[in-house]
Structure 1
Amino acid sequence: MRLQDFRCHWALLLGLLLAGAVGAEPGAELASPTAGWRYSGLLDDLDSPRVAYPTPPIDRGGQRGRSLIEGHLRELAGIDRAQRLVVNGNPLPLYTDAQGRFVRPYAFGSGSNSVEVASADGRSLKRVQFYEANAGRVPPRVRVVLGWDDPKAELDLHIVTPDGQHAFWARPRLNNGGGLDPDGVDGPGPEMFTMAAPLHGTYLVYVNYWGNYGDQGYNFQAGSNQQEVITAQVNLVFNENSVNEKRETFVVPLRTIGDLVLVKTFTY
């Protein structure tokens, strides 16, 4: 083969390899929510299956009118590889099923909302901004969001409100208007507590390392978690999606099943 022909063949091969690399570039698709104006009461597809990947949350009924954040990761599939889902500034670990699909619930308030999918190193893969025009969806004045980085661990959010009521997985609905929903199971969340009309007084925010989850179901065996130290992240948001929004983020290490950590005491 002449040198000129060899160079042509090599250039063609290099071009194909580069094209393949470009085609394999990590990315994300969001089927829901879509950008633009949205009136959830009209646009939600009530016939679509209420499922979530990689594992389903439990609908405890603490909140109603939840929306699903549904999408697909390309070249980033796998439950053991956590990416990031950032909803209205609240970052959460994002796991998928084996095909890269994910569905997560979220209770959006009226007004401007955003959803972003980012890679583990923080690179934005997909972002949508939409305006929720349903006036019945009152933005929460207090929202507490828990997520963690181990799909084989089960953590629980516990909230004690000023009137002494205790919201957790066994009592998600409070008669003061507070609600814990969704309650993520099988790791890694999210779990959320919201109040649209918070009581004035002192609130307590706890995180409990309840147990682990494996092929045989729940267990309490040390070492059956994936991470030696589980990193929980708690986002405390006041007046979400308003000019008065304030937020605090707390990172909590958990090592032993049964750990119960007081994350924050705050006064509203």
Structure 2
Amino acid sequence: MRLKEFALGLPLLLAFCWQGSVCADPSAELDGPAGGWRYSGLLDDLDSPRVAYPTPPIDRGGVRGRSLIEGRLKQLAGIDRAQRLVVNGNPLPLYTDAEGRFVRPYAFGSGSNSVEVASADGQSLKRVQFYEANPGRLPPRIRVALGWNDPKAELDLHIITPDGQHAFWAAPRLNNGGGLDPDGVDGPGPEMFTMAAPLHGTYLVYVNYWGNLNDQGYNFQAGSNQQDVITAQVNLVFNENSVDEKRETFEVPLRTIGDLVLVKSFTY
């Protein structure tokens, strides 16, 4: 190898050598969910304490049907760029702690589900497929999933349903069957809204740049954000896990704390 080629390849080589360890191919472990067939009513234990990074997911009572996607990235921990977590085709940014560990909440519907961990450049590191056989978990007809690329920023998803109800962090459960859960408060999401039996009519999808986390807690002062621009990604999915599935993905730039952006208006 010529000296110039070696110099060009060295940064990439060093990116995969973590904390002085022997260089190895990047990989990922998934402790959950496991592949195969499962009935979550037998596996989910609401009384069992779980620890997430950096804080446990907060269940505000919207939908008590979440599972935890948890595992560890190897040879990639400490890299500034977010890796990708792709759940049922929904790509979300994935950050880890200093040891490469991650825990993200997700509300799976019945039927076939998939979880994939990929590197920032798109390399698939780990993928599992499982079938959720719990008849109490209906597949969502509407799913809106929000993620963003700044783990210190807090974004909020707001959904207006055709009957005028408003789902957001302070009112996650609607009496029309819609629910906002999880409400991501510990990093880059996800936040999700689901409806298994949607009303017919017009829906409005908004994203709000709520605040930034610093040493003193959350900061809500406009103009004090640490990054000039952060990018929110909104995945809109109809009839998830079915032959009629359709999806749209929106990239939304946000520049100032307090920004409220209408992402999509659609009719179901």
Q: TM-score under structure 1 normalisation?
A: 0.88
1:10 alignment counterpart: none
2:70 alignment counterpart: 70
Which residue identity is paired with 2:203? Y
Displacement of 1:47 in angstroms is: 5.4
Q: How many residues align?
A: 249
2:138 alignment counterpart: 138
1:89 alignment counterpart: 89
Displacement of 1:234 in angstroms is: 0.2
Say if 1:139 and 1:232 are closer, same or farther in 2 by CA, change over 3 A. Answer: same
Which residue identity is paired with 1:141? R
For 2:46 and 2:185, locate their aligned partners in 1 and report how far apart those are by CA, in whole Å. 23
Displacement of 1:215 in angstroms is: 1.8
Which residue identity is paired with 1:118? A
1:106 alignment counterpart: 106
Displacement of 1:147 in angstroms is: 0.3
For 2:64 and 2:176, locate their aligned partners in 1 and report how far apart those are by CA, in whole Å. 16
Displacement of 1:60 in angstroms is: 1.0
Aligned: 1:121 with 2:121: yes
For 1:94 and 1:244, locate their aligned partners in 2 and report how far apart those are by CA, in whole Å. 28
Aligned: 1:165 with 2:169: no
Unaligned runs of 5+ in 2: 1-16
Contact 1:69-1:104 within 8 A present in 2 as well: yes
For 1:193 and 1:241, locate their aligned partners in 2 and report how far apart those are by CA, in whole Å. 16
Aligned: 1:59 with 2:59: yes
1:184 alignment counterpart: 184
1:20 alignment counterpart: 22
Runs of 4+ in structure 1 over 6 Å off: none
Contact 2:231-2:252 within 8 A present in 1 as well: yes
2:258 alignment counterpart: 258
Contact 2:204-2:266 within 8 A present in 1 as well: yes
State the SS of the aligned residue for 1:42: helix
For 1:179 and 1:149, locate their aligned partners in 2 and report how far apart those are by CA, in whole Å. 24
Unaligned runs of 5+ in 1: 1-16
For 1:21 and 1:155, locate their aligned partners in 2 and report how far apart those are by CA, in whole Å. 36
- Deviations along 1:191-242, one digit per CA (max 9) or x if unpaired, are 0000011011000000011111112110124565443210000000000000
Q: TM-score under structure 2 normalisation?
A: 0.88
Which residue identity is paired with 2:202? T
Displacement of 1:257 in angstroms is: 0.9
For 2:90 and 2:129, locate their aligned partners in 1 and report how far apart those are by CA, in whole Å. 14
1:207 alignment counterpart: 207
Which residue identity is paired with 2:33? P
The RMSD of aligned alpha carbons is 1.8
1:11 alignment counterpart: none
- Deviations along 1:96-116, one digit per CA (max 9) or x if unpaired, are 111111111111111110000
- Deviations along 1:11-65, one digit per CA (max 9) or x if unpaired, are xxxxxx9x9323xx22100010111111111123555423321343321111112
Contact 2:220-2:258 within 8 A present in 1 as well: no
